[in-house]
Structure 1
Amino acid sequence: MLTDTVCVALSAGGLAIALLTAYRKRYLAATRIAAYALIPVGLAMTGILDWLTDLVFDPGVWLGFAVLGLSWLLFTVSRAVERRRAGAPDGAGELPPAGRAGRRPGLARRGPAANAPGTSRSGRRGSAGRSGSGDDDFSDIEAILKKHGI
């Protein structure tokens, strides 16, 4: 009942401001102000405000949000622990062997250079596996720069 009274008072004030704006011959602005002024009464008449006040002031709703937050926290912690175990060298994780192949200490990690043209897998593993002294890397860069006119 109190929310309905407040909504009617807000709408009455907004309509008064709209009438003053229309008196100054600013009809478009007055129409827009009247449209905004009618929103609180419309919300009160539909019962949405009662639903919102019940939602905000009901302790059971807040308890429900707390339970949802706890659930999200448990999912996050379990996922973090799962990722940590998957990266462990003793194989304590639940990933299949194909999923752990990229985490072996002897293999290099794939980075942005993995898809670069002109590089091979042996070129990324280290200096011992390279066929040259890295001249082919610089020639690729030079070719790209020449292509763009730099």
Structure 2
Amino acid sequence: MIAETVCSAVSAAGLGIAAVTAYRRRFLAAVRIAAYALVPVALVMTGVVQWLADTAFSPTAWAGFGLLGVSWLLFLTTRAVERRRGGTRKERRAARAEARRETRAGSDAAQPALDPAARPASAPRREDDFSDIEAILKKHGI
């Protein structure tokens, strides 16, 4: 009963502030304030406030929240240990096998390729890059 009264008072105060804001010709802000002011009354009408009040004073609900917290901490602890070890056992085995394959392939890749098409293209010459700048400087007599 008290929660519903408080929510109604908060909504009434918010609507009053919205009216004053609208009087000052700030209509967009007034509509936004009115929207926020209507939320507590809507929560009362839907029964959310009553449910929250019943939950807040229920020892069973608090025990449930405590168990949720414990399960969350256990989950986080196992994830932290798993990350520190480098993943699950299956992921570690796959990573070791991949590293072995890369080591074997790396010995073949260490020899230089003789094919000219396999070489990367050479970088563009620097003289060509500065020709435009030189032309601009000569135009201005520098």
TM over 0.5: yes
Q: Distance in 2 between matches of 1:10 and 1:56?
A: 20
Which deviates more, 6-15 or 61-70?
61-70
Cα 1:100–1:24 change in 2 (3 A) is closer
Identity among equivalent pairs (%): 45
Structure 1, unmatched stretches of 5+, are 88-92, 115-120, 125-129
Cα 1:67–1:102 change in 2 (3 A) is same
Looking at CA atoms only, which structure, 1 or 2, has the larger radius of gyration? 2
Q: Secondary structure at the match of 2:99?
A: coil
1:123 corresponds to which letter in structure 2? A
Cα 1:100–1:108 change in 2 (3 A) is closer
State the match for 2:104 in structure 1. 122
1:135 corresponds to which letter in structure 2? P
State the match for 1:117 in structure 2. none
State the match for 1:44 in structure 2. 44
Which deviates more, 65-74 or 54-63?
65-74
State the match for 2:27 in structure 1. 27
Q: Distance in 1 between matches of 2:69 and 2:22?
A: 50
How many positions carry a matched residue from both structures?
119
Deviations 1:8-53 (A, max 9, x none): 1111111111111121222332222212111111111221012123
How many Å apart are 1:133 and its aligned residue? 5.2
Cα 1:133–1:40 change in 2 (3 A) is closer
How many Å apart are 1:56 and its aligned residue? 3.6
State the match for 2:54 in structure 1. 54
Q: How does 1:1-150 map to 2 (within 5 A)?
A: 1-71=1-71, 73=74, 77=78, 103=96, 109=99, 114=102, 122-124=104-106, 130=107, 134-136=111-113, 143=120, 146=121
Which deviates more, 57-66 or 43-52?
57-66
1:19 corresponds to which letter in structure 2? A
Which deviates more, 61-70 or 36-45?
61-70
Structure 2, unmatched stretches of 5+, are 125-142
Q: Secondary structure at the match of 2:20?
A: helix
**CA root-mean-square deviation:** 4.4
